[in-house]
Amino acid sequence: MATYKLNINKKMYEVEAEPDTPLLWVIRDKVGLKGTKFGCGAAHCGVCTILFNGFPIKSCTLAVAAVTPEIEITTIESTDFKNLKVVQDAWTKVQAPQCGYCQSGQILTAVSLLNQNPTPSDADINTAMTAVLCRCGTYPRIKKAIKTASQELNA
């Protein structure tokens, strides 16, 4: 066991963990933030996506030992990350989730996309969002929600 300092949603956490523990399980079970989900454990599905300095990363295959306290980690529980609320509201407006399980990963990936490109084309949306699977098939509404959020941001 070693001690790690993690900067999650602008708060410092100190956790004890084996160095090879994936960040996903540290965030979920040691820090106790359950909004980040487990889907495949092998970087195939993207439901475990969180943001590293604003960019999406799959937390299930990233060992906690590779994370430094300088990295700003954002999870779905953040209350003030840039444009997260706008995107969440757009998601609610178009009623995007079905079971909802993949949606933390979807939303954070979309927030990162919109922060880099506030007016994404269909192709831009496809490229960014292809990383996250949804077995319920909410993709048409995810597209709609991203466009709704984009309009909101550019209003």
Partner 1 sequence: MKRRDFLQIAGVSGLGLMLGCTSSGNKVQSANAEDVELSHFVFIDTNGVVTILNHKPELGQGVYQAIPMIIAEELEVDIHKINIIQSLADKEKYGNQGIGGSTSVRRGYTELRKIGATGRILLIQAAANQWQCSVSECSASNGSVSRNGSKVKLSYGELVIAASQLEVPKEVELKKSADFKILGKPTLRQDIPMKVKGEAVFGLDVELDNMLYASVERTPYMFGAVDSYNKEAIEALPGIVSTSILKTDLFGKPRQGVAILSEDYFTAYKARKQLKIEWTAIPEVYDDAKIFGAFHKEKSKKPTAQRNKNKDKTTLSNQVDTISAEYECPYEAHSPMEPMNATVWVKKDSTVEAWLPTQNGQSARGSIAEITGIQKENITINVTFLGGGFGRRSLQDFAIEAAHLSNETKRPVKVVWSREDDTNAGPFRPATLNVFKAGFDSQKNLTSFSNHIIAQIIGHQWPGADLTKIGGGTYEGAYWGYNFANYTQAGTTVQLPVPIWYWRSVYSSTNCFVNESFVDEVANHMGMDSIDFRLKHMKDERATTLINTIRKQSNWDNPAPREFKGVAFAHVFGSYSAQVVTVEKSGAGVRIKKVDAVIDCGQTINPDTIEAQIEGSIIMGLTAAYKGGISIQGGKVANSNFDKYELLRINETPEIEVQIMKNDHAPGGIGEPGFPPTPPALGNAIFKATGLRIRKLPMTEVSIT
Region from 13-21, 27-35, 40-48, 79-87 binding ligand FES, contact rule CB under 6 A: 40-48
Give the three-state DSSP class for 94. coil
Closest CA to 119 of 93, 151, 78: 151
Instruction: Decide if residue 104 touches partner 1 (CB under 8 A).
Output: yes
Instruction: Decide if residue 72 touches partner 1 (CB under 8 A).
Output: no
User: Which residues are CB-neighbours of 65 under 8 A, at least 6 positions away?
Assistant: 2, 4, 19, 20
Q: Sketch the per residue contact string, 99 through 138, with ligand FES: x for CB under 6 A, - otherwise.
A: xxxxx------------------------------xxx-x
Structure-token pair, residue 113: 């996309």
Report the distance separating Cα 58 and Cα 46, nearest Å: 6
Which residues of the shown chain bind partner 1 in the complex (CB under 8 A)?
Answer: 18, 20-22, 25, 28-30, 32-42, 44-45, 47, 75-77, 88, 91-92, 95-104, 107, 125-127, 129-130, 132-143
